[in-house]
Every structure is written in C-alpha cells, then in structure tokens.
Amino acid sequence: MKLSHIAISLVAAAALTTTGGAFAGGGHGHNHGGHDKEAEQEERTAESTGKVHSIAEDGSSVVLEHGPIPALRWPAMTMELALADPSLAEGLEVGAQVHFVLHQTGATDYKIISIEPAHDH
Ligand SMILES: [Cu+2]
C-alpha cells in the first residue's frame, strides 16, 4: 500500500507539473519564443568606452566619441546620447575617457544609464 501511495503521489505531481506547463504555454500561445526575444530587446543594455566631446548644459545628453559596440552592431562613431538622469553629467569633463552603459528604451532609442571615468589599466 505504501508503495502504491508513493506511485500515486508521483503521478499526481507529474500531472500537476504538466498541467502547469500547459497552462503557462497556453497563455502565451505559439509566440512564446517571440515574446522572449522582444523582452530581451526591451531590456537590452550594452557598454563601451569613449571620450567625452561635449556635455549638454542642462545635463540631458553628451556627445561621445565611442569605440565599436558589437552588442548593438555599432561601429565606432561620434554621437549624441541622452543621459537617463542629468546627475550623470556631474563630474564629467570634456576630453575625459569614460566607461558607459547604454539602455535601449525604444527601437532606435538609447539612454546612458551609467557613465564614469574609465579606469587606467
Ligand atoms: Cu554611436
């Protein structure tokens, strides 16, 4: 009797697991893989180093001369990048080498969420 009880418990547990999986899968349908990909892109971040060309007076953006960013398939370039918070501009100096982290906020929109002087290695 004891063994059969264990067997029944295992079957019940397996059934619960299967039901749970089917339920979760049903909620997202066949696009589950697509959803994952989308979520990945929405939360995409990339980091690189660059040199500060200029800093907007209101701290809303900086122009950086950055190196290639393979994660985004960006070549090296000089470009203006929005700062997620004006306080990020504090302590930045034109001409300084910086290490920065970008967060993708839209299909082609990126914001700097972290920027600090690059460490000498
Ligand atoms: Cu760029």
Å from CA of 109 to ligand 1 middle: 11
Average pLDDT over residues 97-116: 94
Å from CA of 17 to ligand 1 middle: 47
Å from CA of 120 to ligand 1 middle: 23
Q: Is 48 helix (H, G, I), strand (E, B) or coil?
A: strand
CA atoms within 13 A on the CB side of 26: 6
Higher confidence at residue 14 or residue 59? Answer: 59
pLDDT-derived band at 8, boundaries 50, 70, 90:
low
Å from CA of 69 to ligand 1 middle: 8
Average pLDDT over residues 42-50: 85
The CATH homologous superfamily for domain 44-117 is Copper binding periplasmic protein CusF (2.40.50.320)
